Structure 1
Amino acid sequence: MARMSRAEVFDPGEVAVGHVFSRTVRRCFLMGDDPVSGKNFDHRKRWIEEYLQQFAAYFGIDLLCYSLLSNHFHLILRSRPDVVATWSDEEVARRWMMLCPNHRKADGSPMEPTQPEINSIAGCPVKREEIRRRLSDLSWWMRLLCQRVAMRANREDEEHGRFFQDRYKATRLTDEASVLACAAYVDLNPIRAAMCERIEDSDFTSAQRRIQAEHEEVHETPPDETPPDEATRHQTPPDEATGERSEPIAKLRHRRDSFLSPVSIDELLDPIGPCCSDTPERCSDKGFLAMSLADYLELLDWTARQAAPGKRGKTPASVPPLLQRLGLDQASWCELVSDFGKLFCTVAGSPDSVDSMRSHGTHRRYHLRRRARELFAVTD
């Protein structure tokens, strides 16, 4: 069955979560240890992390998870046109000019755009609306990311031509179960590839970033010193409307994972709407899983042990309650995570969720592979 065009699945005008994936040409190890040349290219993974931080700060897109390996990378992105709609025309122009600057500093970072440069976009209705649409478009995120990494690597190697295979692959995640399974699949990629044995040792992953941030927050202040949010409270300028200082800003800016979307979302207590971020480091402060970060990391650890027999540790006596709420048993969950890339192609989710959707242009049904339907049907 022919793959649907991406425009049929993703519309920049609606909030959508997508798993995107790109691999280097001929599966060469162009971002890790090259067994042929003996060279190590891990520094290119740092390039990608730097671009991810920059893009998270300026795009109207939430970065939920990522993992960077030797010849490919995975991202989970959530488009946020609702957040972009709250930005002024000048803010839209400024953000785009920071992503595609006319001038750069000596270190390569973008220079703040001048007012005439901002006006050249903000003052043109056609151009302005096109830019506004691009800022919440997953395709533009991936286009700029792959283009910049490829150009930089080719320049370093004094080579020409493709760095990544064709266009990136994208799968739409339609419900909580598919988002959770895909997040575990992405964060556990280094363990699946036998690059490490523990989640905290999974370099260049969002899981490691979150663990490091939690560890630093717990250990950064000795008992006899002022707590970090008390010490930094007065470094934050007061809010113009209320005159109060915002403690979350000071707290988030010192976290290694501040460019990532928070894990936890409380559908009953969290504010409704765009939930624009209080920091300049990410698009919004809205989470994506109905569980705490601690529970998510515990589930990752449990899943890694189940999917990789022989690893140290003991399997918990009972399945985490969350799996039961999602209608999954142990075996189904482990297969969903370990084979996520094989089970889902265009969209991912439970049969009810996928069957209720239609493509944007032709209103066709989405195809869900038989094995994926069987896994979700195990506990029905």
Structure 2
Amino acid sequence: MSLADTPYYHCVARCVRRAYLCGVDRYSGTSYEHRRQWLEDKLHETANAFAIKLCAYAVMSNHYHVVLRVQPELAEAWSDREVIRRWHSLFAGSVLSQRFMNGDALDPVLYERLLEDVETWRSRLCDISWYMRIVNEFIAREANKEDDCTGRFWEGRFKSQALLDERALLSCMAYVDLNPIRAKMAKTPETSNHTSIKARIDSLNSQATQRNLEDFTGIRADGNGLPFKLADYIELVDWTGRIMRQDKRGAIASELPPILERLGLNSDAWQVLTTQFETQFQHWVGSEHIVRQVCSDKHYQRIPSTVNHRQLLG
């Protein structure tokens, strides 16, 4: 991961063998549907403590996807007390941090020791590895407790892809939000439970705010927020979802949504991106020249194949 190149990352965690995160196990008939809410709640709860925003997520039967935006500048702006408060919402902290938050006076030596911990925690609170670790450990413990077993629940830590430009970010978010539709778990975005697209639509309908979901702000000079309009994104996801339903192909208008035209993506490339995103790319995702530049800056001896980047993202 390199925050100097991009703050956006697509992460995936999968269960080992036939372990079920959610859904109904066809071998035993046991339902694990309630675990979807466990995971969705934990994604939001952990993001609330971190300098990380959720751009997109989808909770599937034996894996989940999440697109994250890391905000290290936000963590740097936190006071020492704010860092400790956020860390204490996740962990017990240390004896010194507990005393500090209780208002006890610390001598200079102990205070310096506390500040060392604070800087470590500040760094961790904008670290994707720590974010995924906290989420995954919680779910693994709860699932193993419920299943009355021990051992690994996840097949590995997690898979990560860096999203280097707007095209990569938009296509990955749509890929994630449309996972339940591709898996025939839902027919429309608004009925895709435990996804960010449904959470955004529900927020619009109730006029409530989703605190941990990154805002759609359009193109802004300060670079804050997602560089698209929410209405455009919802229209695009709906349009793409209807394309994926074979019984509805004939009813799809031939015109591309304006957001695709602005980014220079055609319908064929878009359909591949939103159905095969994980298999088409490895760690770096973006236009060919951007991927090559990143690899060159990092002094890679061999630049990975950029054929898919050129054909799908330009």
The TM-score, its normalising length taken from structure 1, stands at 0.74
Residue matched to 1:115 = 102
Residue matched to 1:40 = 31
Deviation at 1:296, TM superposition (A): 0.6
Give identity over the alignment, percent: 36
Deviation at 1:159, TM superposition (A): 0.4
Residue matched to 1:347 = 284
RMSD of equivalent CA atoms: 2.7
Residue matched to 1:91 = 82
Residue matched to 2:62 = 71
Amino acid at match of 1:325: R
Deviation at 1:124, TM superposition (A): 2.7
Whole-Å separation in 1 of the counterparts to 2:104 and 2:5: 29
Q: Stretches of 4+ moved more than 6 A in 1?
A: 116-122
Whole-Å separation in 1 of the counterparts to 2:227 and 2:18: 32
For the pair 1:165 / 2:155, whether they are aligned, the reply is yes
Residue matched to 1:287 = 225
Whole-Å separation in 2 of the counterparts to 1:121 and 1:139: 28
Whole-Å separation in 2 of the counterparts to 1:364 and 1:59: 35
For the pair 1:212 / 2:202, whether they are aligned, the reply is yes
In the TM superposition, what whole-angstrom CA distance separates every residue of 1:297-349 from its partner, at most 9, and x where no partner exists? 11001111223321378212411222122221111111111110111110111
Deviation at 1:368, TM superposition (A): 4.3
Amino acid at match of 2:2: F
What are structure 2's unaligned runs of at least 5 residues?
none
Whole-Å separation in 2 of the counterparts to 1:167 and 1:27: 17
Residue matched to 2:72 = 81
Residue matched to 1:266 = 219
Residue matched to 1:308 = 245
Q: 1:127 aligns with which of 117, 123, 146?
A: 117
Whole-Å separation in 2 of the counterparts to 1:65 and 1:118: 43
Greater shift, 201-210 or 321-330, is seen at 321-330
Tell me the SS of whatever aligns to 1:358.
Answer: helix
For the pair 1:182 / 2:149, whether they are aligned, the reply is no
8 Å contact from structure 1 (residues 121, 127) kept in 2: no
Q: 1:327 aligns with which of 264, 276, 279?
A: 264
Whole-Å separation in 2 of the counterparts to 1:79 and 1:354: 20
8 Å contact from structure 2 (residues 5, 164) kept in 1: no
More helix by share: 2
Whole-Å separation in 1 of the counterparts to 2:309 and 2:80: 44
Deviation at 1:360, TM superposition (A): 7.8
Deviation at 1:366, TM superposition (A): 5.2
Residue matched to 2:13 = 22
Whole-Å separation in 2 of the counterparts to 1:118 and 1:312: 69
Whole-Å separation in 1 of the counterparts to 2:2 and 2:66: 15
Amino acid at match of 1:149: I
Residue matched to 1:147 = 137
Tell me the SS of whatever aligns to 2:246.
Answer: coil
Amino acid at match of 2:196: S
8 Å contact from structure 2 (residues 57, 177) kept in 1: yes
Amino acid at match of 1:115: N
Whole-Å separation in 2 of the counterparts to 1:123 and 1:374: 53
Distance 1:354 1:117, change over 3 A: farther
8 Å contact from structure 2 (residues 46, 134) kept in 1: no
Residue matched to 2:192 = 202
Distance 1:293 1:328, change over 3 A: same
What are structure 1's unaligned runs of at least 5 residues?
1-8, 104-110, 218-253, 274-285
Amino acid at match of 1:192: R
Amino acid at match of 1:339: Q
8 Å contact from structure 1 (residues 17, 78) kept in 2: yes
Greater shift, 167-176 or 328-337, is seen at 328-337
The TM-score, its normalising length taken from structure 2, stands at 0.89
Residue matched to 1:101 = 92
8 Å contact from structure 1 (residues 357, 365) kept in 2: no
